[in-house]
Amino acid sequence: MSEMSRRNFLGMVGMVGGAAAAYQMMNTMGLAASSTYTKPQLTGGGKGKSVLILGGGLAGMASAYEMQKAGYDVQILEFNGRAGGRCWTIRGGDEYTELGGFKQTCEFDRGLYINPGPWRIPCHHHAYLHYAREFGVKLEPFIMENWNAYIHREGKNGQQPTRVRQAEARTDMQGHVAELLNKAASQGNLDTGLTTEDKEKLLEALHEWGFLNKDGRYVKSLETSTFRGYDRDPGARLEPGTPSQPIGLDTLLERRLWSDLNQGMWYEFRSTMFEPVGGMDAMARAFESRVGRFIKYRARVTEIKQDTDKVTATYVDADGTTKTASGDYCICTIPLSILSQIKLTGVDKDLAEAIKKVPYASSFKAGVQYKRRFWEQDDDIYGGISYTDLPNQLISYPSNNYFSTGKGVVLGAYMFGTDAVVMSGMSPEERLKKVVEYNAQLHPAAAKEFDNGVTVGWHRVPWTLGCYGLYNADTRERYYPTLCARHGRMMLAGEHTSYWNGWQEGALLAATTAVQEMHKFASSQA
């Protein structure tokens, strides 16, 4: 197969199965490989040397953990009264005051919680899983894909929830597309450069992948229903079940039901995904138990100054007094959205400019406690995510405590962009009212069963002013290399210095590379 025909073939796979399918095919063909994580090996040499770490999120604590093992004296300055940064869980009794003064007190029942920041862990995030194993952080499956959940899209007759269950949307989309491709391939109209043998295998694959009959058509039948589900399920003995009617391709396209079908196929979202038992902050607490003695809490950094022999941070303490802390070296994990507002002295102009060029994503989450788990009891939905084109964008159902007769908490909204900004501009009470209204369009019981909730608009969170570093092609090319480089005795770390933006994996990988580079530099100074 020529290089061009490979490209055409991969392009066709991508059009039919999405980016994840194309990526998997590239792996099969030996053209791509999964990312790897290498455990940092700092073989001593840190004794008598100090490292100042700015920020006590995962990147900061991981940096401190690894460097203190190599003998360095470490100190962490953390803005909050807790460690973890965006690795954050809100439980009943917790209080949170956002920029602008809105204060919320969570009223969730005991054992219930919401993760306003990261909320899931892919199985290929090897750095995170390494520390989970080392620290004994217990993980449980996070249900990303549930074929019983809903896709909720505007159509000619208004918004109507459609089950992914019975593969009504996904299987029908595969079937219709496979039928069209089968016709085109059979008539020799696919200009893909495939060999005769490849074409025969493609036709065979389309029949199996698209559930086509012997005539190459996707139609209502018992065979098709074994994939998409039945109108009446099979029973015992002479009850084969009643086949279901596929959704027409025109309806699938008109209601844009295809737009959320590939969520579970994205590389980041493939099974198995995990979450820590009891809340996402389990990892933060595990790190904190090991490096908490090095953390100065409620320390708001106002200036960073680099000299030829040290880095000094000026900060305001909890009592309002101004103090300083210094280290021979500095790993700064403060988000760029905050760092861009801090006075920098002795830092080269390229770095100072790059820090100001990366915006942070606006994002909004709402954790809603309902009086009963109606999504399970009424709709047979156990975990997973329903997608909607309403402003709340999705509803994520808890992946634990199934069949509980008590209350339950769902992620009732996860919004980005303008919708997130508009929602965050409302009062907490108004936000929850709107979120419940949106939830009720998928689950009518939501209006009656609402109990309480808590909301977080990330661009109003004082210690980040945004969800994560938002790069485009230009800023990746022009500023990202500068942000990733060591600058004298100072180096940045965090999800913004990784290609895993917005993921804890990015923070941990950035910490790994930062401590290795800083240790190498420190060793050269001996």
110 labelled binding-site residue: no
Q: Please state the length of the chain.
A: 526
Alpha-carbon distance of 444 to 421, in angstroms, equals 26
* Nearby residues of 430 by Cβ (< 8 Å), 6 or more positions away: none
Alpha-carbon distance of 94 to 82, in angstroms, equals 12
CB 203 within 8 A of CB 186: yes
CB 313 within 8 A of CB 77: yes
Give Cα 286 to chain centroid, integer Å.
21
Alpha-carbon distance of 286 to 292, in angstroms, equals 10
CB 511 within 8 A of CB 497: no
485: closest CA among 500, 497, 476?
Answer: 497
**Do strands 329-332 and 50-54 pair parallel, antiparallel, or not at all (unpaired)?**
parallel
CB 403 within 8 A of CB 339: no
Tokens of residue 427, six digits: 């009062």
Rounded to the nearest 10°, the torsion over CA 107, 112, 116, 119 is 180
Alpha-carbon distance of 400 to 373, in angstroms, equals 12
453 labelled binding-site residue: no
120 labelled binding-site residue: yes
Alpha-carbon distance of 10 to 378, in angstroms, equals 42
* Nearby residues of 389 by Cβ (< 8 Å), 6 or more positions away: 152, 153, 154, 159, 256
200 labelled binding-site residue: no
285 labelled binding-site residue: no
313: closest CA among 50, 49, 48, 52?
Answer: 52
44 labelled binding-site residue: no
Annotated binding site for FAD: 117-120, 301, 495
Annotated binding site: 117-120, 301, 495
Annotated binding site for substrate: 120
